[in-house]
A and B are shown apart, each in its own frame.
Chain A
Amino acid sequence: MTSFLVLFVLVLLSIAIWQLTKIFDLTQIGQASEDSQIATDNDNKVNGYLMFAFLVFIYLTTIFCIVNYGDLPLLNTPASQHGSQVDQLMWISLILIFFVQTITQALLHYFAFKYRGKQGQKAMYFADNNKLEFIWSSIPAVVLAVLIFYGLYAWTDIMFVDKDEDAIVVELYAKQFAWEVRYSGNDNVLGKANVRYIEGVNTLGVDVADPNAQDDIVANELHLPKGKRVIFKLRSQDVLHSAYMPHFRAQMNCVPGMVTQFSFIPSLSTLEMRETDYMKEKVAKINKIREKKSTQLVAEGKAALDPYTFDYLLLCNKICGASHYNMQLKVVVESPEEFKTWLKDKPTLTQAVKDANTTPNKDTSTSIKDSAVAKNDTTIVANVETKKI
């Protein structure tokens, strides 16, 4: 099917080239003797009209994209408190951009059409006008000043977190190609950690002797209490990663050798988000696509795709190696009570280390597992059945 499509496109292409040169050749009729390869009045006319048509093309593309893909961008229902501020600034910027784009493209292409060259027409000798220059340097300056101030206000608000605020501290730990989470426990202070402490089940390299580390809890899923400020401390074990949580309008790089920070207040629980009209529609649409794909897969004798239910995601957004494209973590936002119950059942890290030491040879090393993941991945790709072209 695909190979057919490619062939089809190629055939169409050659036909298109042939036809287009023919069209342009036809525009030369009547001036057959003229082949200086310099634009004639006729070329100016044809291309002038095409310029106008191109303006229409730009507008149609814009309209097509907005109508068909306008629901894709994450511009509404942010899941964090600062999200609405970000979205509002985004809307202002987008509207401004579309406004300026519409006008400037119109002027550009309309002038290209309107003033297309004609024999005997003389251009106006107009070299300079300080007033005009002043106007179009100061208008952008004023508009930008507004954007800059709004942006800086929001940025400061997001990035500089009040220390006294009641917040929980959570560590996000990145490595090729997985995430781990460490909760700071009752004392709300993360124990010291360094890759040099990595051993056995202590995959995060926590210093188990540190008093602050005694109540730290490690998990493979990120649960967050709704309505409470969460301060993320981000670390990386090997290369740069980036913790990207698009629904929360949150992102920060994980840098080996340093702890970075990002903070937000989750404002919509997973269940609430699933219940929004916006998300219901989106999930229904996605599931329709998946069903269609599934029937095709089943027909080919492969396993069908699972239906999709919405969950918040944490994805890696900084190129980090071969399996960068599949480094994700499920994020669950729930009520503070549910969160507490969930966390209560988890053993502390120090307890886990003790248990592992009493029953040795249980978990040897994570890193071996990691490279195994990477290898696995390539082999899976390599094993995909070869289709005939």
Chain B
Amino acid sequence: MSAMSHEIDHHEHDHHEEHHHKDTFITKYIFSIDHKMIAKQYLITGTIMGIIGVGMSMLFRMQLAWPEESFKIFSFFLGERMAPGGVMNNETYLALITIHGTIMVFFVLTAGLSGTFSNLLIPLQIGARDMASGFMNMISYWMFFLSSVIMVISLFVESGPASAGWTIYPPLSALPQAIPGSGLGMTLWLVSMAIFIASSLMGSLNYIVTVINLRTKGMSMTRLPLTIWAFFITAVIGVISFPVLLSAALMLIMDRSFGTSFFLSDIYLAGEVLNYQGGSPVLFEHLFWFLGHPEVYIVLLPALGITSEIIATNARKPIFGYRAMIMSILAIAFLSTIVWGHHMFISGMNPFLGSVFTFTTLLIAIPSAVKAFNYITTLWKGNLQLNPAMLFSIGLVSTFITGGLTGLILGDSTLDINVHDTYFVVAHFHLVMGISALYGMFAGIYHWYPKMFGRMLNKNLGYVHFWVTAICAYGVFFPMHFIGMAGLPRRYYTNTNFPLFDELQDVNVIITVFALIGGVFQLVFIWNFFHSMFFGKKTVQNPWKSNTLEWTAPIEHIHGNWPGEIPEVYRWPYDYSKPGHDVDFVPQNVPMKAGEEVLHH
């Protein structure tokens, strides 16, 4: 409704007039209901959470490479309680991996990636004045901000932050007697996540409604850019699966605080039998992974959508197999909700279910393969403009293939027996969803930075950033497959208690060195990001010569996006290098020439 009223607003007065009646600092920069400002808020909050999350991983990687050694840097960041004498203790190690996982998966790659680009691009690319509900959008961001603050506060409670792994399997996460982090730290974790889920749901509903209702004239579903398709389907998966995590979190809160037994039964801990009877931790695993697996695609699909758009633009070539890409997104989305059991092959659930989940899981490889081949074919005979965003997109395809292929092993119940919960899993999911999604996020930032801030990022720093990151990402995660297949379990504070693993130690050192270099080099990006915001080269309206509608909007942000009429759409977004046109791009708002051929895309 509000978007409609904006529209009416616009017809009534000139946009200059529209500005002055509400441009206080607070309404413009803080409690803004403009989707472009909200996108920037998501991006900056996500970036800060990302710095925390990546920083944590660098700390615990140091512990893994040089176990139980004293570092000044530990004393500085962790303090005497968590790192007595500069030696990280075992509980802190578990706390760090838990919060690293939580922050990276939810706060950076869900909110930071999807929140930023869905907000920025959905209205701009479909030709809408704003989200369906700008107010709900604002609430969504501020709830995300609140949940981030609570998550960060949980790092400072006396008993330590949540340390039961990001999967928070009960009973470990339910009983403070089992691990101190399951006290106040876990309570705050659950509260933070409950708020996060509410925020995510509001965001997703908004995206869905906006895409369905507010497309401009001529923008049929099959003329939508693939970014929008990806964001749209991501939002649908989010709406389907996040409530299930909320219910799991609520039940866990009840088990912890109100004495119910949803997930607990027959427990003897710290010298006494606890009063729980009849619950099952396996139930929690089902509920958790019913979100947890689609979450992988909630993280990945937006990155793939962004990549599709950037590869097509920079290859100066239509994305290959537009309809196949949409079908793949739909197939992945559907399959993603029926494969959660592959995280639980050896959880004690009926082995027959294991067979079913093996079958559905391996099916996902088909649409994934189609996407990868389509990307490669899009590059073929293109005229590739290797901007930093393009490099990150190609990098994404590379890590998506490398990481995705090992999924064939993990998705196969027989093979999963021996690599389950080893470093093989860590290597697999970091490449396929962690690094790939991060690349998607970086690609998006390099590509749409001019749209967001009106300035260009420095490309040379971007090249340095990409090449070092790309080398370090493989340097970290490629050797990790090997120590995983050697049987090294994840989440071990140190491996020194097993002489069997002594020969893996030098691999761990190599991995850590790459991780530290890669981590430190992200500072190049951070510098570029913040410096260019104020001192970057001013952009032109359509720097990448792109077809989509956001580049028809003026550089200067105005609430309502376009002065005057909303552009009308006449063609699909991928008419790059179309024969019969003088330039190698034809924006969507350019009418078809007489007799111009519409391909059956």
Contact = CB atoms under 8 A, between A and B. Distances in A.
A158 interface: yes
A384 B348 CA distance: 39
Contact of B264 (A175, A237, A256): A256
Interface string B347-358: 110010011001
Contact of A384 (B87, B175, B471, B500): B87
A252 B601 contact: no
B406 A97 contact: yes
A38 B381 contact: no
Nearest to B91: A322
Given A36-B456, A96-B408, A141 B366 contact: yes
Contact of A144 (B273, B365, B385, B500): B365
Nearest to B543: A38
A134 B353 CA distance: 31
A20 B467 CA distance: 10
Contacts of A137: 366, 369-370
A90 interface: yes
Interface in A180-210: 194-196, 198, 205
Given A111-B380, A242-B421, A256-B265, A289 B346 contact: no
Given A117-B384, A125-B317, A128-B322, A43 B459 contact: yes
A100 interface: yes
Interface string B361-404: 01101100110111111011111111100110010011001100
Contacts of A367: 268-272
Nearest to B367: A137
Contact of B172 (A46, A96, A320): A320
Interface string B309-340: 00000011111111110000000000000000
A241 B69 CA distance: 28
B492 A324 contact: yes
B282 A39 contact: no
Nearest to B324: A133
Interface stretch (A53-61, A162-170, A266-274, A355-363): A53-61
Interface residues of A, number: 149
B25 to A, nearest CB: 30
B486 A74 contact: yes
A193 to B, nearest CB: 10
A112 B366 CA distance: 24
Given A24-B463, A282-B503, A325-B493, A240 B171 contact: yes
A286 interface: yes
Interface of A: 2-3, 6, 9-10, 13, 16-17, 20-21, 24-25, 28, 35-39, 43-44, 46-48, 50-51, 54, 57-58, 61-62, 65, 69-70, 72-75, 85-86, 89-90, 93-94, 96-97, 100-101, 104-105, 107-109, 111-112, 115-118, 121-129, 132-133, 136-137, 140-141, 144, 147-148, 151-152, 154-156, 158-160, 175-176, 194-196, 198, 205, 234, 237-240, 242, 244, 246-247, 249-253, 255-258, 260, 262, 282, 285-286, 289-290, 293, 305-306, 308, 310, 313, 315-326, 328, 365, 367-368, 370-371, 377-378, 381-382, 384-387, 389
Given A205-B268, A290-B502, 20 more contacts: A13-B521, A17-B464, A37-B459, A37-B536, A51-B394, A61-B474, A72-B485, A72-B503, A96-B408, A108-B379, A115-B380, A124-B381, A126-B320, A137-B366, A151-B358, A195-B266, A239-B169, A308-B500, A316-B489, A324-B94
